Chains A and B, each alone.
Chain A
Amino acid sequence: MAGFRSRQDELKALGVTLAFIGNGTPAMAEDFKQSLGLEVPVFTDPSRRTYAQLGFKRGPLSVVSPGVLASAVRAWRAGFRQTKTQGDPVQQGGVVVVRAGGAAEYGFASAAAGDHPPLDVVMDAARRAAR
């Protein structure tokens, strides 16, 4: 997800805010920002309430095939929410693109570690949101 830093200049030129949200301490957020040389805000949600509100998965790692991923994305787009799973708590992340004023343009919930949306897909959504 930190790969988004490579697009921070492009997003800035589009007038789109880029921000990261983690779930550690504020000091960890600052360290993350400094170590990656980020020029964008890094927030933290130690309560993980925003993760829960967005339905970002918190459950055991699983092997996920591309087909499962595609269906998960379709399901998400159709408004179906991933139900909370029991077991080893492994928090997943995701990406949300929002238009100015609060209309959702795009969303992606990671199904497993290493499952990220293609940067180009997110950038396309950012360009649409900036129109």
Chain B
Amino acid sequence: MKLDLASLGPMTVLDERGQPVAMASLWRERPAVLVWLRHFG
């Protein structure tokens, strides 16, 4: 595992409505705890 947030930041995920969100927007103004799930449910 590596932790390269500069590379992760521009990558996008989708919100619950399918809209793209840049990872960096999650930590731009506040600290964040981000939990990657194996699967939903």
Q: When the two chains form their complex, are residues B35 and A99 in contact, meaning their CB atoms are under 8 A apart?
A: no
CB of A9 within 8 A of chain B? Answer: no
Q: When the two chains form their complex, are residues A24 and B32 in contact, meaning their CB atoms are under 8 A apart?
A: no
Which A residues touch B6, using CB under 8 A?
Answer: 102
Q: When the two chains form their complex, are residues B36 and A4 in contact, meaning their CB atoms are under 8 A apart?
A: no
- Given A54-B2, A107-B3, A21 and B33 touching (CB < 8 A)? no
CB of A35 within 8 A of chain B? Answer: yes
Q: How far is the CB of A91 from chain B (nearest CB, A)?
A: 6
Q: When the two chains form their complex, are residues A98 and B14 in contact, meaning their CB atoms are under 8 A apart?
A: no
Which A residues touch B38, using CB under 8 A?
Answer: 1, 90-93, 110, 113
On chain A, the number of residues with a Cβ less than 8 Å from chain B's Cβ atoms is: 65
Q: Mark A41-72, 1 if CB is under 8 A from B, else 0.
A: 11111100111011110000000000000000
Interface of B is mostly: loop
Q: When the two chains form their complex, are residues A32 and B36 in contact, meaning their CB atoms are under 8 A apart?
A: no
Q: Which of A2, A44, A93 contacts B14 (CB 8 A)?
A: A44
Distance of A107 Cα from B24 Cα, bound (Å): 16
Q: How far is the CB of A40 from chain B (nearest CB, A)?
A: 9
Which B residues touch A31, using CB under 8 A?
Answer: 40-41
Q: Which residues does B use to contact A, with CB under 8 Å?
A: 1-9, 11, 13-18, 21, 23-24, 26-41
**Apart from the given pairs A26-B16, A100-B28, 10 other A-B contacts in the complex at a CB distance below 8 Å:** A1-B35, A21-B13, A22-B37, A22-B40, A31-B41, A43-B14, A45-B13, A55-B2, A91-B38, A102-B9
Provide 25 A-B residue pairs closer than 8 Å at the C-beta atoms, listed in order of the A residue.
A1-B37, A4-B35, A16-B31, A17-B27, A18-B35, A19-B26, A19-B35, A21-B35, A29-B16, A29-B40, A32-B41, A41-B16, A45-B13, A54-B3, A56-B1, A91-B39, A93-B37, A95-B33, A97-B32, A101-B28, A102-B24, A104-B3, A109-B1, A125-B33, A126-B31
